[in-house]
C-alpha cells in the first residue's frame, strides 16, 4: 500500500491491546510507525472505542480515510468477557484504585448470582464511573475524582443484550456480556454487587468483539507494526 492509497482509501487495523496500555498509547505507537514507514509528518489515525488500561482485547485503529468511519464502528454492539470480585469495592469500580474489602458475601448463592445477572438484561439506566473521561462541569470526570470533588455523573440509557455468568469461584465471578455503545462494564460490576447485597469491582476485562470484528482476527501491536512495513515494502516492489 502506497501513502496515497493509505490516505485516500484508508485502512482498518485490528489490534489485541495489551494490559497497562491506554488506547491512546496504541494510537500514538501506530501513528509513529505509519509516519516513519511512509516518511510523512501528517496522517490521520484514531481508535474506535476506548479500552481502559487494565482491560485487554480488541481495539479498532483506523488510518487515513477510514478515520471517517470511526463513529460507525463505535456504534456497533460489543462483547466482553471478564471477572467480577464480590465483597470488595474501589472508587474506580476496577482494580486501578485502592480496594476496600470486608463486605458480606455469605448470603449469596449461585442461583442469586445467575438471577441477578438476568435482571440486568434489556434497556437499563446506568451511571458511568466518576473515574471516567466524560465531561462534567467542563472537566473530565476523573479530574474531579482525583481532587476529591463531590460531583454526580448523570445516568443514561444503555442496553445489555446478554449478561451470562460463565463460572463461579467465590468471591470471583466470571462473565460474558453483549452490550450497546456507551456501556461501562465497570459500572455494571459495581451495580451487580449492590444488587446482590454486597459490593463488587471489575477484576479483569477483555473485549472480544465489536460488531462483526472479532478478537480472533486481531494481532499484537508488534505484529501489526511489522505488517505495516511489509505493506510498504510490497508497494515499492510493485513500482
CATH number where 221 lies: 3.30.70
In terms of domains, do 91 and 71 share one?
no
- Considering the domain architecture, whether residues 161 and 57 belong to the same structural domain is answered as no
Indicate which CATH number applies to the domain containing 121.
Answer: 3.30.2350.10
Range of the domain at 51: 3-75+213-237
Do 120 and 192 have their domain in common?
A: yes
Structure confidence at residue 24 (pLDDT): 93
d(CA 125, CA 188): 10
pLDDT at 147: 58
Residues known to be catalytic: 52
The count of structural domains within the chain is 2
Q: Which residues contact 130 (CB under 8 A, 6 or more apart)?
A: 91, 92, 141, 142, 144, 145, 151, 153
176 and 100 both lie in a single domain: yes
If asked whether residues 52 and 146 sit together in one domain, one would say: no
Question: What's the pTM?
Answer: 0.90
Sequence-separated (6 or more) residues with CB below 8 Å from residue 148: none
Per-residue pLDDT band for 138 (boundaries 50, 70, 90) equals low
Q: Are residues 217 and 162 in the same domain?
A: no
Confidence grade of residue 210 (pLDDT, cut at 50, 70, 90) = very high
Amino acid at each position: 500500500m502506497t501513502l496515497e492509497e493509505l490516505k485516500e482509501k484508508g485502512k482498518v487495523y485490528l489490534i489485541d491491546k495489551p494490559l497497562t496500555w491506554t488506547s491512546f498509547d496504541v494510537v500514538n505507537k501506530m501513528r509513529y510507525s505509519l509516519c516513519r514507514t511512509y516518511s510523512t509528518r501528517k496522517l490521520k489515525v484514531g481508535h474506535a472505542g476506548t479500552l481502559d488500561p487494565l482491560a485487554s482485547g480488541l481495539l479498532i485503529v483506523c488510518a487515513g480515510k477510514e478515520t471517517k468511519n470511526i463513529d460507525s464502528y463505535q456504534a456497533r454492539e460489543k462483547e466482553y468477557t471478564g471477572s467480577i470480585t464480590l465483597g470488595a469495592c474501589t472508587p474506580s469500580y476496577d482494580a486501578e484504585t485502592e480496594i476496600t474489602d470486608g463486605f458480606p458475601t455469605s448470603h449469596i448463592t449461585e442461583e442469586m448470582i445467575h438471577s441477578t445477572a438476568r435482571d440486568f438484561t434489556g434497556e437499563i439506566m446506568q451511571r458511568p464511573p466518576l473515574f471516567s473521561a466524560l465531561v462534567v462541569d467542563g472537566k473530565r470526570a476523573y479530574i474531579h475524582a482525583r481532587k476529591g470533588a463531590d460531583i454526580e455523573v448523570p445516568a443514561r440509557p444503555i442496553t445489555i443484550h446478554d449478561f451470562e455468568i460463565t463460572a463461579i469461584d467465590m468471591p470471583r465471578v466470571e462473565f460474558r456480556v453483549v452490550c450497546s455503545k456507551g456501556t461501562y462494564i465497570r459500572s455494571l460490576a459495581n451495580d451487580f454487587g449492590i444488587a446482590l447485597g454486597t459490593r463488587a469491582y471489575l477484576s479483569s476485562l477483555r473485549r472480544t468483539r465489536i460488531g462483526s470484528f472479532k478478537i480472533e482476527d486481531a494481532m499484537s501491536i508488534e505484529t501489526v507494526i511489522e505488517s505495516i512495513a511489509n505493506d510498504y515494502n510490497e508497494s515499492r516492489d510493485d513500482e
